[in-house]
Amino acid sequence: MNAAGLRVRARVLATTRAFFATRGYLEVPTPVLVPSAAMEEHLFPLRAEGGLLRTSPEFALKRAVAAGLGRIYEIGPCFRGREDGPWHGTEFLMLEWYRVGAGLRALIDETRELVQAVEQTLGVPAQPWREVTVRELFAEVCGVDLATASASDLSPDDESWDEAFFRRWVTDIEPSLTGAVVVTEWPASQAALAQVRTDGAWPTAQRFEVYYRGVELANAFFELLDSSEQRARFMSANAARLAAGEPPHPVDEDFVQAVGRMPVTAGIALGLDRLVAAVAGWEGIDRGRVH
């Protein structure tokens, strides 16, 4: 165990809570033990007696938004099976916040200000910020136009377009990212719980991710507000899971209904262990955690 590392994390936690307090955000702790832990194909929730361990606080926080809370955040443990490595832990600390009435622009600015506050707290030089679309990154790094590329154009080893996309992402794009990078306009097939836009050159999900010195820190959605579309995405992720021999996710009908009652909202989830480690310049998340 690294005492200095734990002190660094404590300072980042204090900075984060102060940041949201001064902006009128309410801290809302929600249950860790839940009936439905995720809706995405590639998340593997852990089982516990009486339910599942949440993979993020998203379903509960959105019910709080639907109940009338306009600015909320939560910092708490989340659990994802089959994830273990220098930048992954089965258990990790997630920061998630929701802002009613906001779009992605406001959330990009707020995320940058939070990260800069943490840089200041830890006394490290501020990283330069850059904003780029997924399509621009693939053109720049791989020389491929995502709007027209087939799976085999992206990677000869993959049949699925999304898997080919992620193989190039992991192999070529991610290692090329320096400084702080906001990556916008993701493929519509990777929308998860975000709204999709079809009026551009190709259909894109209204979400962004934040990379900090090559480490994926955060994922934000311009939130989907359509219950039937939300249910359909649950079903299609579950169909993919069944085809891959994985158990389907239980559908959280309370959450699906709540999506239809939410006002226009932008929300973001940020890995706090990664924020601490990436800003502090560590080689992985271990130094800031108790073992």
Partner 1 sequence: MYQTSDIRKGLKIERDDAPWTITYFQFVKPGKGCAFTRTKQKNLLTGRVVDITYKTGEKIAPADISEHTMQYLYNDGELYHFMNTENFEQVGIPGEVLGKDVTDFLLEEAECQVLFYKGRPVNADLPNFVDLKITYCEPGVKGNTAQGTSKPATLETGAEVQVPLFINEGETIRIDTRTGDYVGRSSE
Q: Name the residues that contact partner 1, by CB under 8 A.
A: 40, 42, 82-88, 157-158, 162-163, 165-167, 169-171, 174, 186, 190, 192, 209, 216, 219
Nearer to partner 1, 140 or 157 (CB): 157
Q: How far is the CB of 261 from partner 1 (least distance, A)?
A: 25
* CB contact at 8 A, 39 and 49: no
C-alpha–C-alpha distance, residues 73 and 157, integer Å:
41
Q: How far is the CB of 161 from partner 1 (least distance, A)?
A: 12
R_g of the chain computed on alpha carbons: 19
Least Cβ distance, residue 210 to partner 1 (angstroms): 11
One-letter amino acid identity for 19? F
- If DSSP codes are grouped into helix, strand and coil, which group holds residue 227? helix
Q: Which is nearer to partner 1, 66 or 186 (CB)?
A: 186
**Shortest distance (Å) from residue 123 CB to partner 1:** 28
In this structure, the strands spanning 91-100 and 265-271 are antiparallel
Q: How far apart are CB 174 and partner 1 at their closest, in Å?
A: 8
**Separation between Cα atoms, residue 75 and residue 55, nearest integer Å:** 13
Residue 66 or 76: which CB sits closer to partner 1?
76
205 near 233, Cβ under 8 Å?
no
Sign of CA dihedral 279, 281, 282, 283: positive
Mode of pairing for the β-strands spanning 33-34 and 204-212: unpaired
Q: 91 or 253, CB closer to partner 1?
A: 91
Distance of closest approach, residue 124 Cβ to partner 1, in angstroms? 24
Between 171 and 178, name the residue whose CB sits nearer to partner 1. Answer: 171
CB 96 within 8 A of CB 267: yes
Closest CB to partner 1 among residues 66, 184: 184
The CA-based angle 268-271-277, given to 5 degrees, is: 140
What is the C-alpha to C-alpha distance for residues 188 and 128, in angstroms, rounded to an integer? Answer: 28
Name the residue nearer to partner 1 (CB basis): 67 or 232.
Answer: 232
We find the least distance from the C-beta atom of residue 49 to partner 1, in angstroms, to be 27
User: Tell me, what amino acid is at 141?
Assistant: V
Residue 71 Cα to chain centre, angstroms? 18
